Chains A and B, each alone.
Chain A
């Protein structure tokens, strides 16, 4: 798939990058060190989450059978795609590589979207405590979009994205 950046590069075949394109790239580069730090922080958080998330979900929602280790692992892997999209400053990447897939699974398995939403809420709670303020700010739009796509009314529209 293409990101805004790779689309610029493809558009410049047989011509030099324009000032406008260079300006956009340079602004992105300026914010890149913070994105790299945020990605590192999320990576460190994943290590901690892997050990605690399963137990905490069981304790918090004892009646939900969905919360197995495998699901938790899948959700943690989605964090990697979220971090990748944040690094690329490309929400489309997260939508195409994770959210659309998740939307289909929720619908096909007839799951209650709130059960997935609650996992991400717990991850966000942990992230709020562990990530620096700037890293939280960079990750927030992706968490928000994900939460929004899992509200019951939004599950079907999310599939058409």
Chain B
């Protein structure tokens, strides 16, 4: 938030609202730092749980994509880290410019169904809620929901590269 706000200033001083937003953000900086540390410590565990559940729900997926779950695990750790960075910085515009739009184009290219993405992100959000302390989850949730909403908004693919979907186990 700070970096973006200051670079936006062109030949002017901060507005009253910008100043008060920055002051409000600064009072939360230490808590955000701790939350980022917690996200770093637990990101692999969260990804483990999501992938375990997704293997049960989509038992044929690995036949279509032998490395799909491993790549998905790697991406979920990355996604949790990028979400933590955005939470720490207090804004999502930067992560969207650098990462979200690019990653969404990758997801479009691999023909995952919207339902598959919804299931993944639902498990990811639930995993964060179960794993994080309440304070960390409260800080991470708005950014995580933003990421889940952006990244699951994909067109339906004509190809079936997912296989059977079983009810939640």
Contacts and interface: CB of A to CB of B under 8 A. Distances in A.
Interface residues of A, number: 29
Contacts of A88: 3, 6-7
B: interface residue count bin: 20 to 34
Given A3-B6, A36-B19, A15 B81 contact: yes
Interface string B58-80: 00000000000000000000100
A84 B6 contact: yes
B166 to A, nearest CB: 32
Contacts of B78: 14-15
A7 B29 CA distance: 19
Contacts of B2: 5, 29, 32
5 contacts: A14-B99, A16-B81, A22-B88, A29-B2, A88-B3
Q: Interface majority SS on A: helix, strand, loop or mixed? A: helix
Interface string B11-42: 11110000100110010011001001001100
Given A14-B82, A16-B81, A17-B36, A39 B29 contact: no
Contact of B84 (A16, A36, A43): A16
A9 interface: yes
Interface of A: 1, 3, 5-6, 9-10, 12-17, 22, 26, 29, 32-33, 36, 39-40, 42-43, 77, 80-81, 83-84, 87-88
A3 B3 contact: yes
B85 interface: yes
A42 B23 CA distance: 18
Interface string B88-132: 110000100011000000000000000000000000000000000
Contacts of B14: 36, 39, 87
A84 B9 CA distance: 7
A36 B9 CA distance: 14
Given A10-B98, A81-B11, 19 more contacts: A3-B7, A5-B3, A9-B89, A14-B99, A15-B78, A16-B36, A16-B39, A16-B81, A16-B82, A26-B30, A32-B22, A32-B26, A36-B14, A36-B23, A43-B13, A80-B11, A80-B13, A87-B6, A88-B3
A22 B89 CA distance: 10
A103 to B, nearest CB: 18
